[in-house]
A = this chain, B = another copy of it.
Amino acid sequence: MTAEREARPAGAPVRRGRGRRPADEVRAEVLAAAGALLLREGMAAFTIERVAQEAAVSKTTLYKWWPSRGTLALDGYFHAVESTLAFPDTGDIRADLTAQVRAFVRLLAGTSAGRVIAELIGQAQTDPALSAALLERYSGPRRDLAVARLRRAQEQGRLRADADPRILVDQLWGACYHRLLLPNEPLTEEFAARLVDNLLRGVAA
Where the two chains meet, the residues of A that have a C-beta atom closer than 8 Å to any C-beta of B are 94, 118-119, 121-126, 134-135, 139-140, 143, 154, 157-161, 163-164, 166-168, 170-171, 173-179, 181-185, 191, 194-195, 198-205
Contact = CB atoms under 8 A, between A and B. Distances in A.
A161 B143 CA distance: 32
A164 B202 CA distance: 12
A200 B175 CA distance: 16
Q: Please tell me how many copies of the chain the complex holds.
A: 2
Contacts of A198: 163, 167-168, 171, 199, 202
A199 B182 CA distance: 21
Contacts of A174: 174-175, 177-179
B119 A182 contact: no
Contact of A122 (B124, B171, B177): B124
A160 to B, nearest CB: 5
Contacts of A123: 122, 125-126
A140 to B, nearest CB: 5
Contact of A199 (B119, B134, B199): B199
Contacts of A195: 167, 170-171
A200 B191 contact: no
A157 B205 contact: yes
A158 B204 contact: yes
Given A119-B126, A177-B178, 18 more contacts: A94-B204, A118-B125, A121-B182, A122-B124, A123-B125, A123-B126, A124-B181, A135-B184, A139-B182, A158-B205, A159-B204, A163-B198, A166-B185, A168-B203, A175-B175, A175-B178, A178-B178, A181-B181
